[in-house]
Chains A and B, each alone.
Chain A
Amino acid sequence: MTQPTPAARAADPILELRDAAKSYGAVRALRDGTLALRPGEVRALVGENGAGKSTLVKLLAGVIRLDGGTMLVDGEPVDFHSPTAARDAGIAVIYQEPTLFPDLSVAENVVMGRHPRGALGRIDRGAVRRQVQELLDRLGVKLAAERPVRGLSIADQQIVEIAKALSFDARVLIMDEPTAALSGPEVERLFGVVRALRERGAAVLFISHRLAEVFAICETVTVMRDGQVVHDTRTADISADELVRRMVGRELGALFPKEQAGVGAEVLRVHRLTREGVFTDVSFAVRAGEIVALAGLVGAGRSEVARAIFGIDRPDAGHVEVGGVRLPRGRPSAAMRAGIGFVPEDRRQQGLVMDLSVQRNVTMTRLRELARGGLLRASAERRLAREWAERLQLKYHRLEDPVGFLSGGNQQKVVLAKWLATEPSLLIVDEPTRGIDVGTKAEVHRLLSELAGRGVAILMVSSELPEVLGMADRVLVMHEGRLTGELSRAEADEERVMRAATGQVEAAA
């Protein structure tokens, strides 16, 4: 390092990341991660879903370790082997969903493991309450130290986490989408706390999808895209439009061909569907032969809408019609009978029974038809499974092997086969290509396109913009539980979708 000038030394970073790299297997989640946090700085970290923000946060929090590059605290290289190590270095992370002890008091949550003690190691309860109340008062919040955490709002729980960080004398606060679950006044209060922290010389890394907030509270901003830090600037020097462009600015390949198909009659109609606190007043329709993508950022409520349509979650208001017939609320079996297939987001947990064989997983939705007199006919099961394995070009060793033996892409094909075997008129796919390799991804896309060509209506929830733009005939965009945009294939481009997804435009449709 060259000799710094006195002025620069005053602002030497507390925490610095240089050329950080992290891979999960063959997937490079982060490379060239460079970031510096100086005392009194509030820095925003923005980027699309999967841009590598979470990986970066986990590195700083000591949850995962670097594969390459260096991390420095006060200019000294460090290697956090655990969250406790990061904490001891003065780094505190406030997650969107705080990790607290619901059964214990606010005060105990703050001091757990470090209770102030009096004679003979007895906990000094008075001191606990005093210390924590003082912290809370310093944060300028009305919260009683002795009340239990159970029943606190997310906003108040975050305040408890911040108080905890202060009690550690944390100098770096990382806030991972802290405002996602907060109301307007609660956000204002949080910002007040953040400003107070800044005055005290702490550095704050603020991760948010809400660009308005980024401009309101942050002086500097780091933009990530595809696992890389691509831009680092002062918020005063960049416009919101420019920021969005930096976030998405990627060439759209011709990887996702959707064949043109004749759009037929309306298959699905969703009418003013609402689930309190999750999504509100969602209405749209999907026609036969059409692929409709539900785009938006993580937590916008897309998967929840899909689950409510299929009847896994019960909506509080509104209804769903399939082929003009209203579905009863909260009954997946009725949805299946009406011809809906549902490929869930998390195939390991919800889509497959990992210990069962490939063939049993494929035929699971058809067991009733395959049975005679209540007994499953092995030959029929086998025939059906083999037929679908061939149609989807499934790569397997034996049909009797547990489905867990297959690769991620092939597992996803099994889930698809399972639902295609029911010959659905509407297929809901939630993140159909998450975590699968490029080759299989293209096959899944080809398959979806082919299905649409044969007149199946497809509702696709996807966080990958190229996939959305390449596959969809129509793009619906959600932001914080509401539909904020509807774009035709011709209208849809990355910027428009991102703008709607970050709430930059209100209900363009």
Chain B
Amino acid sequence: MSTAATPAPTPAAGVRARRMVDLALRVRELGIIGALALLILVTAVIEPRFVHADSLRNLALNAAIFAILAVGQTLVLITRNVDLSVGSVLGLTAYMSGELLSKHPGTSILVVVALAMLMGAACGLLNGVLVTFGRVPALVVTLGTLYVFRGLAFLWTNGSQINAETLPDGFLNIGTGSFLGIPTMALIALVVVLVVGQVLRDYRPGRELYAIGSNPDAARLAGVRSDRRVCTAFVVSGALAGLGGMLFTARFGTVDATAGTGYELTVVSAAVVGGVAIFGGVGSVYGAALGAVLLGTITSALIVLKVDSFWQQAAVGALLLLAIAFDRLVGLRLDAALRQRSSRRA
């Protein structure tokens, strides 16, 4: 053993690895904000109408629902699971909200919110129970419930559609109104992001979600009740998809059984672009929400710039690959640093 040559490199490598992690984590959210600013700037230079109040409002409104869903998705992704059923849950609850209000226009909006979230939570509970107690991979479970929930929506609507005329104005105002100049829906999304962000950062259940995703065995040894926590993550994801469904109806007024089709992929993309690791244990809801805003802005910018719709999709895909490549690169660099250190000892 050549122990004589060892001591010096150890602290240096430790400090370097630590700096890299710090940087990677902080740069992650700052990076998205930077990309967002650049995107808006470039688009505004080419097409000044892009930064008109109306256009920015639309941007915020579009991103709000995705941001709320991405927050729920983040909770699930952090535990090394995935929830692909959110689009279908949104469709189901959107129709429920519309149906309820057009049949009983006097219903309190708070009741509608509660029912939509409750219905979403029930869907999430089904996912969570199948994943934790049924020991079926989340990918398979939620792929299944994606079709099941969508199927239920089709059965229920029976081909019919809800129109804005039948909905009370007070309800539609949630979708169009604003408070202190900020769209109500964006405010709702902001509250959701902040509340869930706080729980993830400063409360035991939140920290335990990270523990579960980071090392499930170690979590069990630390006495974390993993099944219960994972189940809760799915329930919250479902409830937030329910909230999203209610907001969908308020915003668009027109709802049929296909509402929210394909949203799950956008939502997972938003979370991943926002730095939430698909392998669990890493990421924040702030990043995921910013990811949703970035994806929404790219789409709008490309439309404003009259770019072919194929390129719009390709741009989203490229962004996703870029984000994953970035995460992988950081991971590899860290692993390499670690391996170099251990071999120096041999």
A residues adjacent to B (C-beta < 8 A)? 83-84, 87, 99-104, 108, 112-115, 117, 121-123, 125, 142, 144, 147-148, 150-154, 156, 181-186, 276-278, 280, 480-481
Report if B256 contacts A (CB, 8 A). Answer: no
Classify the secondary structure of B's interface with A.
helix
Inter-subunit contact A123/B345 (CB<8 Å): no
- Identity of the chain B residue whose Cβ is nearest the Cβ of A280 in the assembled complex: B346
Q: Which residue of A101, A123, A278 is within 8 Å of B214 (Cβ)?
A: A101
Report if B204 contacts A (CB, 8 A). Answer: yes
Inter-subunit contact B346/A123 (CB<8 Å): no
Inter-subunit contact A151/B14 (CB<8 Å): yes
Q: Which residue of A83, A113, A121, A153 is within 8 Å of B10 (Cβ)?
A: A153
Inter-subunit contact A112/B6 (CB<8 Å): no
Inter-subunit contact A99/B218 (CB<8 Å): yes
Q: Which of B11-66 contact A (CB under 8 A)?
A: 11, 14, 17-18, 20-21
Report if B224 contacts A (CB, 8 A). Answer: yes
- Chain A neighbourhood of B160, CB < 8 A: none
CB distance from B344 to the nearest CB of A (A): 8
**Chain-A contact segment, one of B184-192, B233-241, B334-342:** B334-342
- Identity of the chain A residue whose Cβ is nearest the Cβ of B217 in the assembled complex: A99
- Chain B neighbourhood of A152, CB < 8 A: 14
Report if B202 contacts A (CB, 8 A). Answer: yes
A83-B220, A151-B21 known; 14 new pairs, CB 8 Å cut-off, are: A101-B219, A104-B207, A112-B211, A113-B223, A115-B207, A122-B202, A123-B207, A144-B18, A147-B21, A151-B14, A151-B17, A151-B337, A182-B345, A277-B339
- Identity of the chain B residue whose Cβ is nearest the Cβ of A117 in the assembled complex: B204
CB distance from B179 to the nearest CB of A (A): 27
Inter-subunit contact B223/A84 (CB<8 Å): yes
Report if B158 contacts A (CB, 8 A). Answer: no
CB distance from A363 to the nearest CB of B (A): 32
Contacts A/B (CB < 8 Å), 13 sampled: A84-B223, A87-B221, A102-B281, A103-B281, A113-B208, A115-B204, A123-B203, A144-B18, A148-B18, A150-B334, A156-B14, A184-B6, A277-B345
CA–CA, A411 and B215, complex, Å? 33
- Chain B neighbourhood of A280, CB < 8 A: 346
CA–CA, A185 and B342, complex, Å? 13
CB distance from B186 to the nearest CB of A (A): 27
Inter-subunit contact A147/B218 (CB<8 Å): no
CB distance from B238 to the nearest CB of A (A): 24
- Chain A neighbourhood of B20, CB < 8 A: 151
CA–CA, A181 and B338, complex, Å? 13
Q: Which of B290-346 contact A (CB under 8 A)?
A: 334, 337-339, 341-343, 345-346
Question: Quick one: which of B20, B207, B208 has the most chain A CB within 10 A?
Answer: B207
- Chain B neighbourhood of A104, CB < 8 A: 207, 210-211, 214, 281
- Chain A neighbourhood of B21, CB < 8 A: 147-148, 150-151
Inter-subunit contact A184/B18 (CB<8 Å): no
Inter-subunit contact A84/B221 (CB<8 Å): yes
- Chain B neighbourhood of A112, CB < 8 A: 207-208, 211, 219, 222, 224
**Size class of the B contact interface (CB-based, 8 Å):** 35 or more
CB distance from B284 to the nearest CB of A (A): 12
Inter-subunit contact B337/A103 (CB<8 Å): no
- Chain B neighbourhood of A144, CB < 8 A: 18
CB distance from A213 to the nearest CB of B (A): 13
Classify the secondary structure of A's interface with B.
loop
Inter-subunit contact A99/B221 (CB<8 Å): yes
- Chain A neighbourhood of B282, CB < 8 A: 103
Inter-subunit contact B204/A103 (CB<8 Å): no
Q: Which residue of B17, B204, B277 is within 8 Å of A121 (Cβ)?
A: B204
- Identity of the chain B residue whose Cβ is nearest the Cβ of A184 in the assembled complex: B3
- Identity of the chain B residue whose Cβ is nearest the Cβ of A112 in the assembled complex: B222
CA–CA, A144 and B15, complex, Å? 10
User: If A112-B207, A185-B3 touch, does A100 touch B14 (CB 8 Å cutoff)?
Assistant: no
CA–CA, A71 and B345, complex, Å? 39
Inter-subunit contact A153/B341 (CB<8 Å): yes
Q: Which residue of A83, A108, A153, A181 is within 8 Å of B207 (Cβ)?
A: A108
- Chain A neighbourhood of B181, CB < 8 A: none
Question: Quick one: which of B210, B217, B224 has the most chain A CB within 10 A?
Answer: B210
- Chain A neighbourhood of B6, CB < 8 A: 183-185
Inter-subunit contact A147/B346 (CB<8 Å): no
Inter-subunit contact A101/B218 (CB<8 Å): yes
Report if B155 contacts A (CB, 8 A). Answer: no
- Chain B neighbourhood of A108, CB < 8 A: 207, 211
- Chain A neighbourhood of B159, CB < 8 A: none
CB distance from B4 to the nearest CB of A (A): 9
User: If A99-B218, A113-B208, A123-B203 touch, does A151 touch B18 (CB 8 Å cutoff)?
Assistant: yes
Inter-subunit contact B342/A181 (CB<8 Å): yes
Contact indicator per residue, chain B 149-182, by CB within 8 Å of chain A (1) or not (0): 0000000000000000000000000000000000
Report if B1 contacts A (CB, 8 A). Answer: yes
CA–CA, A84 and B282, complex, Å? 26
- Identity of the chain B residue whose Cβ is nearest the Cβ of A110 in the assembled complex: B222
CA–CA, A144 and B220, complex, Å? 25
CA–CA, A125 and B201, complex, Å? 10
CB distance from B339 to the nearest CB of A (A): 7
- Chain B neighbourhood of A114, CB < 8 A: 223
Report if B106 contacts A (CB, 8 A). Answer: no
- Identity of the chain A residue whose Cβ is nearest the Cβ of B341 in the assembled complex: A153
User: If A183-B1, A184-B1 touch, does A123 touch B224 (CB 8 Å cutoff)?
Assistant: no
- Identity of the chain A residue whose Cβ is nearest the Cβ of B225 in the assembled complex: A113
CB distance from B325 to the nearest CB of A (A): 19
- Chain A neighbourhood of B18, CB < 8 A: 144, 147-148, 151
